Every structure is written in C-alpha cells, then in structure tokens.
Homo-oligomer: A and B are copies of this chain.
C-alpha cells in the first residue's frame, strides 16, 4: 500500500519530532542509525520533506534536521502526499481501476471503512500529536530488531 520510501519518511519524521528541536538538531546519519534505514536514501527523502516544509534543516557544523511548531502542524498525510501521492491510500485492494461503490470488488466494503479510518487518523492528527502518542506509550518505532526482554 505505502512504498518503503513513505514508511521510512514517516518513521524518521516521527523520530525527529520526538528527539530533535531547533536547539538540538540531528544529522541524517544519526536518525538513519537509530531506526535502521539506509542513510543516503533517507537524505533524499528528507530533502523532499524540507522542500514541502514538513521538516526544517540547517547546513554546516551543528546543523541538521529538526521540527518547528509550524512544521509540527503538518500531518502524516502530508508526508505520504509528498513521497508517494495520496492516491496510494485509495487504491482498490484487488487492483480494480476504480475503488468505489459503483462496481465494488468482493472486499470493497471491508476495505472502504478501513481506508476512511486510517486516512482520517493521518489527516486529523498532527505529526507532533502522533509523536507525543508514541512517546507517551513508550514505543520504539525502529526497523532494527530489538530484543525487548
């Protein structure tokens, strides 16, 4: 449904929201290591996100990426829109050209509410709210295999 690129971008942005700030910027390398994402690839993705004003960046020593209040109002939806395009969230589960009630596939009426629900969450919650939720629940959104024992 989402490309790996979008997933990387989402996880990394949430990580950034939780761990960086204007005062404590973070380099791609650090973030990439933390959540186990290929760092040159992430660099590309972050470029796009800066362009879309979803995150901020400063070059040079002590530079790096961070998230301002204003950035934080952006949504996961905005990330997806900029990396994959929103249509990726609205495709028919079985690949029909149109996903709607007019000529629905056999699972449409299961898929439709799910899509509505997830799109809603991605659109209505800001990135900061998402990241707060993650932190409050003590979650680690990393691709690294963690041994949590």
* Interface, chain A (partner B; CB < 8 A): 1-2, 4, 7-8, 10-11, 14, 93-97, 102-107, 110-111, 114, 117-118, 121-122, 130, 133-134, 139-143, 145-146, 148
Q: List 11 A-B contacts (CB under 8 A).
A: A1-B1, A14-B106, A97-B143, A102-B148, A104-B139, A105-B139, A105-B141, A106-B139, A106-B141, A110-B114, A110-B117
B118 lies within 8 A of A110 (CB): yes
Interface of A is mostly: loop
Which residues of chain B are near A1, meaning CB under 8 Å?
1, 93
Bound together, the chains give a CA A85 to CA B70 distance in angstroms of 43
Contacts A139-B103, A141-B105 given; does A7 touch B121 at CB 8 Å? no
Bound together, the chains give a CA A143 to CA B8 distance in angstroms of 31
Which residues of chain B are near A122, meaning CB under 8 Å?
107
Bound together, the chains give a CA A2 to CA B106 distance in angstroms of 15
Q: Which one of B14, B118, B143, B145 lies within 8 Å of A93 (CB-CB)?
A: B118
Which residues of chain B are near A146, meaning CB under 8 Å?
103
Bound together, the chains give a CA A111 to CA B140 distance in angstroms of 18
